[in-house]
Structure 1
Amino acid sequence: MTVDERPHLLYVAWGYPPSRGAGVYRALATANSFARSGWRVTVLTASREVFDYQTGTDGELEKTIDPGIAIVRVPFSLERAEPDLSQWSRARMTSNLLWSYIRAQKDRISFPEPVYGGWRRALVNATDRVHQENPVDLVLGTANPNVDFIPGWHLHRKAGVPYVMDYRDAWHLDVFSGERIGLRHSRSARLENRFLKNATEAWFVNVPIRDWHVQEHPDLADKFHVVANAFDAEFASQFKDMERQTGIHQSRSLVFGYLGTIYGPIPLKEALDGWRMARSQSDLISRSRLVFRGRLGHYSEPDPKVLKLLEHYAGDSVSYEGPVSKTEVAAVYAQFDALLLALAGSEYVTSGKVFEYAATGLPIASVHYPKSAASTILQDRNDWYPVKEVSAQAACEVFLQTAERAVHMTATDYAKNQNWASHLARERQLSPRIQRLEEVIGKD
């Protein structure tokens, strides 16, 4: 097959490396998977300076992009995030609140989404240029923001190009509260319904979110598929034949680790109070440490409230040791003896780190809503200790259970857990969908 004969995917992701924002790993892995499957891939994403301002950047993550992928960085207005007051207009200086409101309304005229709606025109222009230079066979937009779905809809209307909608969260479902966002007949709801009716497929990260959309759009259920977040094969391979020091409690200490974004809805205080209680009840845990790695909040600057809370428990051997590049994630996990999984409380929340946690083979202390979608992922795994309720006492109990197990884990135990997790590998999630889409465009 010559280069010109390969199918061409236009992949749309506002957040793409070097962004360090939520969802970037899914975007990176999906585009790479298509490239490895023999597709030409062009990515439409925001300009680099946007990530410097908003999400922070990870240069090492950018190095993991498949070298065959073409990246088109579409200008995105940074006016809202401008920190230099000398660059503000007189109207904004007079009332930043009023200026922000008017700007948000202007954005919504183009597309019914605050902040990102104004990106629509630049996206459409970039889409037309790409398609004119190199005809697109398929568009895959990953949200949020939901404006990422516009190029697929645009090329479908203009040239009959099929498109896929990949939902990292949801457009009209609040995944934390379970409540519907907005009115059923709002402009955005009508737009989403139109997009879904014309899409070839829609992907969701877990069964509960998929099922919610089936209830909302029962006539479209056959289009809806679960493509879960997952772990990469390269990541899992680094834990093969893993061993840990074992021994009697009198000579052991443990490192419990949390790796991921730490933000508002996570029951962080309950977990920390539970850790403090466990230290008072267990000599083993009193000699052990609880280490947090990852970002504090979703923006480039750490959330000061979260940082202050972690610092408050420093005397309990709790430490925050900074964000981690994607290329260093496996090495960080290798420093831990057990894992803390703390998630926002909702049946619709899975989180990407659940899959990595499962792949390490390490014992897991889960402090989150018992009916979380993450519980569905881990329910048959050995060495998983979930709370029965979100409280400090329940967290204390699972810390005690997990610690007792951690000191007795063997290489065989780790291997069993890693083998169990093999069905959660990235390729197992994406390969069936890529093969199906190749059939749709007639390039199988």
Structure 2
Amino acid sequence: MTDDRRPHLLYVAWGYPPSRGSGVYRAWATANAFAAAGWDVTVLTVPREVFEMSTGVDLTLEARVDPSIRIVRIPFHSGAFTNDLRDWSWLRAHAPEVWNVLQARREQRSFPERAYGGWRPALEEAAVRIHRDHPVDLTIGTANPNVDFVPGYILSTEFGVPAVMDHRDAWSVDIYSGRRTVDPGSRAGAWERKLIGDAAEVWFVNQPIRDWYAQQYPDAAARFLVVENGYDEELVFPPRSRPDGEGLTFGYIGTISAAVPMQELVSGWALARRRSALVRAARMDLYGYLNHLGVPGANMVRSMDEFAENGIRYLGPVGRGEIARTYATFDALVLTFGAGRFITGGKVYEYASTGLPIISVHDPENETSRTLAEYPGWRGVSAMTAEAIADAFIATAEDAQKRSEADQRDARAFAARYSRTAQLAPRIQSWTSRVNTQPRDARGTR
């Protein structure tokens, strides 16, 4: 280093522990990884109460935040996350359609993002204050929401601090349909061009999203990188000990959103039970939150009537501290989510880290099919039909029945490439080298 001060990362994440949203694991792991690499890390996020009063919290994940990380929680106000009726205005209670239109306009006045745009002024003020108090060497904003990118832009344009945009999904493309969602001529399109034009790096979770953006912004494509989600090495899975005579257990852990093809999953499983004594003796345990606000979607409601007769149990969400023990109750894993070639799904890496057989019940065109193509013990469905799903369940059950400890070790060895360390280490090493070789100017920046 050129001086005795540790490099300082400002990490901006609306969804940070105790949030229990699916994207929170990337935010939690990235900040922890920089802290473990010797960086001072400041996280800029929202008050805990935002999650306590809306989406719910995962206190076991919050307990795993590196204690050296400084967390700055600044006010966030949005009607979308105000669920206490006592806080509703007369207009919202009596004319919700009118209120929604007016609220959307107010929220997007500062930044063109519904429900989150109004956070921009508080973010900018906090970022500048943090930098003046403890000079920032690198800003990473993780989205969505995309307003998380604004502090990096401000510190870059005003103080010369490099900024990284870390996309968990994508702003301009619907990852399910592949349809463009942002008009290039709109305010949102202008903001995206401005942010990408200024960013030192832009990270994407998979190659298809990165390539789509490269087509839209060819002049910036050299700064576009794939940093996959990965799994957390801290998860140590105790060995599965299935009593003699007990049937196999298939398991699913993840948010059960409206996009999950639950009816197809249940239909294929039921057909497999009729065709195979091995599957008929098995059960399927589903764990996870119901949608992002805890309310079951129509897909779940329609399917639950068939659960009991088909050996399916919904057992609720699992805290981060219970994940490893829950995986240890499974003999095989069920990976299912909505269709779309841009979808990888964060759980795919964690599933692979267990070394268990995996059945993928999703559109074969999903990017997950490429990720797991060479994983020992993976079965993808050839089509989203009951027949194809049943065939894959039967083959996966046969794999699980004969799975040896050596097979599981081989699968875990394959999955090592998808650890968060393997994904993040090259970027952390690169940025550590860059900031440590840049002299700091008189303002305290490098």
Structure 1 residue matching 2:97: 3-state secondary structure? helix
Question: How high is the sequence identity, in percent, across the aligned residues?
Answer: 45
Q: Note if 1:403 corresponds to 2:397.
A: yes
> Is this contact kept in 2: 1:54–1:300, CA < 8 A?
no
Residue aligning to 1:419: 413
Cα pair distance change 1:4/1:145, threshold 3 Å? farther
Q: Note if 1:272 corresponds to 2:266.
A: yes
**Aligned counterpart for 1:314 among listed residues 299, 308, 313:** 308
Residue aligning to 2:62: 62
Distance of 1:171 and 1:291 partners within structure 2: 34
Structure 2 residue matching 1:10: 3-state secondary structure? strand
Distance of 1:409 and 1:244 partners within structure 2: 13
Q: Note if 1:48 corresponds to 2:64.
A: no
Residue aligning to 1:233: 233
Distance of 2:242 and 2:54 partners within structure 1: 41
> Is this contact kept in 2: 1:10–1:41, CA < 8 A?
yes
> Is this contact kept in 1: 2:171–2:182, CA < 8 A?
no
**Aligned counterpart for 2:249 among listed residues 238, 255, 261:** 255
Structure 2 residue matching 1:339: 3-state secondary structure? strand
Shift, 1:143, TM fit: 0.1
Give structure 2 stretches of 5+ with no counterpart.
Answer: 439-446
Q: Which amino acid aligns with 2:237?
A: Q
> Is this contact kept in 2: 1:257–1:292, CA < 8 A?
yes
Q: Note if 1:129 corresponds to 2:124.
A: no
Give 1:319-338 correspondences, 5 Å limit: 319-338=313-332
Residue aligning to 2:87: 87
Distance of 2:237 and 2:165 partners within structure 1: 32
TM-score, with length taken from structure 1: 0.95
Distance of 1:27 and 1:39 partners within structure 2: 16
Cα pair distance change 1:379/1:193, threshold 3 Å? same
Residue aligning to 1:364: 358
Residue aligning to 1:342: 336
Q: Note if 1:352 corresponds to 2:346.
A: yes
Distance of 1:395 and 1:120 partners within structure 2: 46
Structure 1 residue matching 2:189: 3-state secondary structure? helix
Shift, 1:324, TM fit: 0.6
> Is this contact kept in 1: 2:261–2:299, CA < 8 A?
no
> Is this contact kept in 2: 1:52–1:300, CA < 8 A?
no
Residue aligning to 1:177: 177
Shift, 1:306, TM fit: 1.9
**Aligned counterpart for 2:287 among listed residues 283, 293, 297:** 293
Cα pair distance change 1:301/1:265, threshold 3 Å? closer
Residue aligning to 2:104: 104
Q: Which amino acid aligns with 1:363?
A: P
CA RMSD of aligned residues (A): 1.9
> Is this contact kept in 2: 1:244–1:411, CA < 8 A?
no
Cα pair distance change 1:304/1:2, threshold 3 Å? farther
Distance of 1:311 and 1:119 partners within structure 2: 42
> Is this contact kept in 1: 2:12–2:141, CA < 8 A?
yes
Shift, 1:335, TM fit: 0.3
Structure 2 residue matching 1:111: 3-state secondary structure? coil
Shift, 1:287, TM fit: 1.4
**Aligned counterpart for 2:381 among listed residues 383, 387, 395:** 387
Q: Note if 1:17 corresponds to 2:11.
A: no
TM-score, with length taken from structure 2: 0.94
Distance of 2:181 and 2:240 partners within structure 1: 47
Cα pair distance change 1:442/1:354, threshold 3 Å? same
> Is this contact kept in 1: 2:140–2:164, CA < 8 A?
yes
Distance of 2:410 and 2:241 partners within structure 1: 15
Shift, 1:80, TM fit: 3.9
Distance of 1:221 and 1:399 partners within structure 2: 41
Q: Which amino acid aligns with 2:161?
A: V
Residue aligning to 2:443: none
Residue aligning to 2:167: 167
Deviations 1:320-360 (A, max 9, x none): 00101111111111100011111211110001110011111
Shift, 1:199, TM fit: 0.6
Shift, 1:243, TM fit: 5.7
> Is this contact kept in 2: 1:253–1:288, CA < 8 A?
yes
> Is this contact kept in 1: 2:2–2:436, CA < 8 A?
no
